[in-house]
Amino acid sequence: YADVVLLVEGASERILFSRILEEKFRYYENDGGYILQVDGISFKEYITILEKLGIKTIVKTDNDLKLNEDKKEINYLGMNRCFDIIKKTKLNNKGSIDIKEYKDNVEYKKDLQKKIYLKKHIKEFIKNDIFLSEIDLENDLYNIIPEAMDKLKRNNGSKKSAVDYLQTAKQINMIELCNLLDDEEINRIYENPLFECLKSMVKICSH
């Protein structure tokens, strides 16, 4: 059995995190660590089972938003997923959303995600070993390693943005990105607060 399991949404996170830990803490599995993809967002079911087995869990999830056009509200799916895990009151939905901007302007949605990424909530999640992306895996990564992601899309002749390209054929493209990463870029990701889930697992495995 593992002593600590890092729960992630899908293959992209598992591939990236395995690549980083290969350099930063190669034998983490020997020391009781494991990365498990839940293939979605059903973290609570996994947590319940793993805790009954005496296994500690760490969660890494995206800061998802969903538009309710009828009510002109934003559902804070990512934030409320975290509140649900720690059994705390969820955020109320927010009205007065510019529907057209939300649907047509990617940056408008990103701005909303950043605005709800409040330190007081994030600190509470981290205390419970829950790590929420500011936006999502690919956008957070681009803030840290834009050069590598731009190189990936250029190598493949894509006219999409680096983020959009990485979000298509996710598993294949993430493997290729991981092959491009050098030691300095891996260290940048590992040291960035948005990927603190990795340090959390290393710390537990090291004790």
What's the average model confidence in pLDDT over 32-47?
96
pLDDT tens-digit series, residues 137-171: 999 999 999 999 999 999 999 999 999 999 999 99
Order of strands across the sheet with 130-132?
33-37, 4-8, 56-61, 130-132
C-alpha to C-alpha distance for 25 and 205, rounded to whole angstroms: 9
pLDDT tens-digit series, residues 89-111: 998 877 667 888 888 888 988 99
pLDDT tens-digit series, residues 61-89: 999 999 888 877 888 999 999 999 999 99
Cα distances (Å, whole numbers) of residue 205 to 3, 121, 184: 8, 26, 23
SS3 59: strand
- Report the sign of the C-alpha dihedral through residues 76, 77, 80, 82, in that order: negative
Tokens of 178: 């991981």
Mean pLDDT of the chain: 93
C-alpha to C-alpha distance for 65 and 79, rounded to whole angstroms: 9
Q: Which of 12-21, 39-48, 93-102, 175-184 shows the lowest per-residue confidence on average (mean pLDDT)?
A: 93-102
Question: Do 175 and 168 contact (CB within 8 A), yes or no?
Answer: no
SS3 60: strand
C-alpha to C-alpha distance for 110 and 129, rounded to whole angstroms: 24
Tokens of 86: 């720690």
SS3 160: coil
